[in-house]
Each structure stands twice: as structure tokens, then as C-alpha cells.
């Protein structure tokens, strides 16, 4: 995870530097700063810092992976990668609600988009808690 953290931190540095350069260059070569591009670059840098910080914190909690040391062989990473639900209908609902939300937002039907967003949140919660079994079920 340290490699991923470094990658996102370098991307954040790049976006912030490009944001500074872009802001200065639009100030001197136009009648003023072009704020839309500058805000996008700085926000992209902020999101990269967010992802890099997450990977940095996770790297402290997990054991060392084969990707984290240079002498690793391909077969060191073999094995089970995780659990994936074979017969879940929640991803279909999430995709449907996301498409309807995008359609409502793009056409300007904001009440429709807000109502569909609640369905989207509910279906994501259903996916997350699909295999959650409380202590009374054991």
C-alpha cells in the first residue's frame, strides 16, 4: 500500500503545482484568473491527497504484501483474493438507480434526481449489509 500512497501523493503534488502555474499564467495572459480550470486542478490535487492519505493509513494496518518488496516472485501473490457474492441482485439495482439519477440530473428534473438518489443510497446500503448477520442470528 505504500506504493499506491506514493503514487497518489506525487499526483497531488503535480496537480497542485499545475494549478499554481495555471492560475499565474491565466492572470498574466488574460484579463484575470480563469477560476474554473484553477479550481478543477486544485480540487483534483485535494482528491489525490485524500486517496494518498487513505492508502498511507491502511498501509500501517495491513501486513506486507508481495507488491511491497522488490524480491517478490509472481507466485508470492497467488491465492484467494477475497469474497465476491455470486448471486446478488444489488449491483443491478445500483446500476439502474445510478442511470436514472444521471438521467434526472441531466434533464433538470431535480426532484426526480433527489428521489432516485435516496433509492441509490438504499441499494448501496443493501449491498454493503447483504451478508451482515447480527449477534442474535448466531
Is pLDDT above 70 for 43?
yes
Rounded CA-CA distance 26/31 in Å is: 8
What's the confidence (pLDDT) of residue 111? 82
Give the pLDDT confidence score for residue 103 in this predicted structure: 87
Model pLDDT, residue 46: 96
**What integer best gives the mean pLDDT of the chain?**
87
Residue 68 has pLDDT above 80, yes or no: no
pLDDT in tens, 92-112: 998 988 888 888 888 888 888
- Identify the burial level of 15 via C-beta atoms within 10 angstroms of its C-beta, where 0-12 means exposed, 13-18 middle and 19 or more buried: buried
- Mind giving me the DSSP string for 67-102? GGSTT--GGGG-S------SS-SHHHHHHHHHHHHH
* Predicted local distance difference test score (pLDDT) of residue 135: 64
Q: Quote the CA–CA distance of 2 and 107 in Å, as a whole number.
A: 43
Can you give the pLDDT at residue 134? 63
* Whether pLDDT at 47 is above 80: yes
For the segment 19-28, the average pLDDT, to the nearest whole number, is 94
Amino acid at each position: 500500500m505504500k506504493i499506491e500512497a506514493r503514487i497518489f501523493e506525487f499526483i497531488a503534488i503535480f496537480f497542485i503545482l499545475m494549478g499554481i502555474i495555471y492560475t499565474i499564467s491565466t492572470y498574466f495572459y488574460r484579463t484575470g484568473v480563469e477560476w474554473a480550470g484553477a479550481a478543477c486542478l486544485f480540487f483534483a490535487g485535494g482528491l489525490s491527497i485524500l486517496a494518498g492519505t487513505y492508502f498511507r493509513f491502511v498501509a500501517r494496518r495491513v501486513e506486507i504484501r508481495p507488491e511491497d518488496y522488490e524480491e517478490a516472485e509472481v507466485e508470492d501473490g497467488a491465492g484467494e483474493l477475497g469474497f465476491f457474492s455470486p448471486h446478488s441482485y444489488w449491483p443491478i439495482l445500483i446500476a439502474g438507480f445510478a442511470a436514472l439519477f444521471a438521467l434526472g440530473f441531466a434533464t433538470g428534473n431535480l426532484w426526480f434526481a433527489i428521489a432516485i438518489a435516496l433509492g441509490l443510497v438504499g441499494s448501496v446500503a443493501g449491498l454493503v449489509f447483504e451478508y451482515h448477520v447480527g449477534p442474535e442470528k448466531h
